[in-house]
Amino acid sequence: MQSFGKKLRECRDAKKLSQSALAKLLSTNHSIIGKYERDEVKPTIDVVKKLAEALDTNVGYLLGETENSNILKDSSMLKRLNDIASFSKKEQEHILFALDAMITKIKLGSI
């Protein structure tokens, strides 16, 4: 598994941003970005959120919780998942059953 610093650098490079340019987006100094990338300093969770937003990724990816840098970036999908989470367990089961059936049909090319 890649370290936070390596993932940060990978995302920064993918966006074609220099350390200085990223630092400017975060209103900080470029030297702190270098320290993050070398894993010399760990940022606060608030800084990680800002980094994820600036780099068009998510906190989970930067922290190594997921290998997918795009997961749940779509705010409308996230809203739907939050709505589902607020329903009763029985309602969640019904929704997820229907959703799983639709996903399977799409994967099989039946729709």
Q: Count the Cβ atoms, other than its own, within 10 Å of residue 30.
A: 14
**How far is it, in rounded angstroms, from Cα 11 to Cα 107?**
30
Between helix 4-14 and helix 30-37 the angle, nearest 10°, is 120
| Domain ranges (residues) in the chain | 4-62, 75-107
4-62 CATH fold: 434 Repressor (Amino-terminal Domain) (1.10.260)
Q: pTM score, two decimals?
A: 0.65
SS3 at position 66: coil
> Rounded to 5 degrees, what are φ and ψ at 65?
-80, -20
In the numeric block, which tokens belong to residue 111? 């729709």
More confident residue, 17 or 82: 17
pLDDT exceeds 90 at position 6: yes
pLDDT at 64: 85
Query: What mean pLDDT comes out for the span 16-40?
Result: 96
CA-to-CA dists, residue 57 to 22, 86, 105, angstroms: 14, 25, 29
Query: What mean pLDDT comes out for the span 25-29?
Result: 95
Question: How long is the chain?
Answer: 111
pLDDT digits (tens, 9 = 90+) for 47-62: 999 999 999 888 888 9
pLDDT-based confidence at residue 13 (cuts at 50, 70, 90)? very high
In the numeric block, which tokens belong to residue 18? 């220099």
pLDDT exceeds 90 at position 1: no
pLDDT digits (tens, 9 = 90+) for 52-105: 999 988 888 899 887 766 656 666 777 888 889 899 999 999 999 999 999 999
**How far is it, in rounded angstroms, from Cα 41 to Cα 51?**
14
